[in-house]
Structure 1
């Protein structure tokens, strides 16, 4: 789930109906499908929390800094992102701090 700014330039590109035309219908359909398949979507997203490849991305300094911490601490940002997505799927409008 990627936030974006709905600028005037984007709205103008949607044509004479602006956000009230096919853009709105597409967004509503997409949200409906995502909510109906929330469990499946969250299962796929949660795999990234436990993905060992994320550890390969860590630099040596970061690895030293995180030495001794549990796996849960290492993936805290990923877990927070999953919780944020879940809240948004449930209809809560929240933004990261």
Structure 2
């Protein structure tokens, strides 16, 4: 992968990590914004839908927080998920590896997995 692209990714990730507390504060406000909940709910199922949405939102926020802390999760190979935070360069490297992994790329297409 080109060094300009990699360097741009590293700079962007470094800025995101440095601003992680502010970013998380902004994202957490959506948990408590009633307008976000009301727009998705139907009459009669309001409470159950709201509870499930909140659980999903908390899970997503936790995933975002972990990524900003340097942890990497793998979709196609969950056993490779890191249990320790990576450096900015290490996280960028792993994310580029995931983005170019044929197993991950093959999941974008309907049909049979072709071995590359």
TM tier, smaller: 0.5 to 0.7
Query: What is the CA–CA distance in structure 1 between the aligned matches of 2:28 and 2:65, rounded to whole Å?
Result: 11
Structure 2 residue matching 1:93: 3-state secondary structure: coil
Tell me: CA distance 1:73–1:35, structure 2 relative to 1, closer, same or farther (3 Å): same
Gaps of 5+ in 1: 1-18
- CA deviation profile, 1:31-56 (whole Å, cap 9, x unmatched): 10111111011011111111111122
2:13, 2:63 → 1: CA distance? 15
The TM-score normalised by the length of structure 1 is 0.63
Runs of 4+ aligned residues of structure 1 deviating over 3 Å after TM superposition are 71-74
Structure 2: gaps of 5 or more residues: 79-116
* Greater relative contact order structure (CA < 8 Å, 6+ sep): 1
User: What is the deviation of 1:26?
Assistant: 0.9
Partner of 2:57 in structure 1? 78
Quick one: which of 28, 34, 37 aligns to 1:46? 28
How many angstroms apart in 2 are the aligned matches of 1:92 and 1:77? 19
Give the CA deviation at 1:72: 5.5
Q: Distance in 2 between matches of 1:73 and 1:55?
A: 11
Report the CA distance between 1:84 and its aligned residue: 0.1
Q: How many residues align?
A: 76
Identify the residue that residue 64 of structure 1 maps to in structure 2: 44
Q: How far apart are the structure 2 equivalents of 1:75 and 1:30?
A: 29
